[in-house]
A and B are shown apart, each in its own frame.
Chain A
């Protein structure tokens, strides 16, 4: 039994085992999005669910990202068939209402669903404070690198994606993100006053 040779050979196990052990600390389903820090992709989407005053918009209006320069935009992708979306729905409306007097715009983008199903869902969830828009062909969803729903993007006043959240977003986290952006003055150069649709 050649123990010297055996000892050297056993070292060969080290890289494999180390790699696998390290791999155990990673989540293979967690994919980093390249969007945060970059300019948010433009969109112009049609309103199908008006939302509630004072945040309401007219059905049929188009919401364009470019016209929201200076405001913080919270873009939430959801669907009526999405179970996890139910978890965050009320929180989103609550935070939206809290931010009424601030330069913040909440938008709900319906993903791979039909408008009627979306409206029924909203009704079943006791309403939605902010407007909901349609995304035909999922073009905007793809533009934002959507992996599934729900996903929420927070866009700062300069039109850059500040934060992306995968899964249901807790109210405190969302409020924190918005507040820190407001405090950082990213909405400072924004025109205040009545919203121009």
Chain B
């Protein structure tokens, strides 16, 4: 019974830890709650903010154009907004900047080709580790039991 529980816990941990890029958390950056002037405005703002979070400020150290106070970042942000208004899709906007600055401008590498290594290795490690933990716990509980004190007995002084 407890090993089943363990299985559920491990399974849930595995599922929870497979990264799901855009399904959860709207881009998985916890988005701000913005004071909307009207619905369309706030939608434009949030889409701009979301995209701006994905683009790297070219003159800063690792900040996004959303976070960076530099002038170039603000200008790029304005350009992003303009492009959204003119009907471009998210991929188009990002592709435009990539065509000018190279892949470097994206703060998360495109999940394609070799870059998948960065996205897949951690979950693989997690699964492998979960299996390892499972096997370890099984081997530890397999031995014939030494009669222990009543369940829940507390420990010797040092814990």
Residue ranges of A at the interface with B (Cβ–Cβ < 8 Å): 31-35, 41, 112, 137-139, 141-148
Contacts and interface: CB of A to CB of B under 8 A. Distances in A.
Contacts of A112: 71-72, 75
Contact of B75 (A34, A41, A138, A144): A138
Nearest to A111: B72
A131 B25 CA distance: 50
A161 to B, nearest CB: 11
- Name the prevailing secondary structure of the A interface residues: loop
Contacts, number: 45
Nearest to A144: B100
B75 A137 contact: yes
Nearest to A147: B58
A111 B58 CA distance: 14
B50 to A, nearest CB: 19
B75 A31 contact: no
B101 A145 contact: yes
A145 B105 CA distance: 10
B72 A139 contact: no
8 contacts: A31-B101, A34-B100, A41-B100, A138-B72, A138-B76, A143-B100, A144-B100, A147-B101
Between B71, B79, B100, the greatest number of chain A beta carbons within 10 A of the residue's beta carbon is seen for B100
Contact of B102 (A32, A142, A143): A32
B58 A146 contact: yes
A31 B106 CA distance: 13
B89 to A, nearest CB: 19
Contacts of B99: 34
Given A31-B104, A148-B58, A148-B59, 4 more contacts: A137-B75, A139-B75, A145-B58, A146-B72
A33 B104 CA distance: 10
Contacts of B108: none
Between A34, A144, A146, the greatest number of chain B beta carbons within 10 A of the residue's beta carbon is seen for A34
Contacts of A34: 98-102
B78 interface: yes
Contacts of B98: 34
B3 to A, nearest CB: 32
B59 A35 contact: no
Contacts of A138: 71-72, 75-76
B104 A142 contact: no
A53 to B, nearest CB: 34
A31 B100 CA distance: 12
A32 B98 CA distance: 12
B76 A142 contact: yes
A44 B41 CA distance: 31
A31 B76 contact: no
A137 B59 CA distance: 16
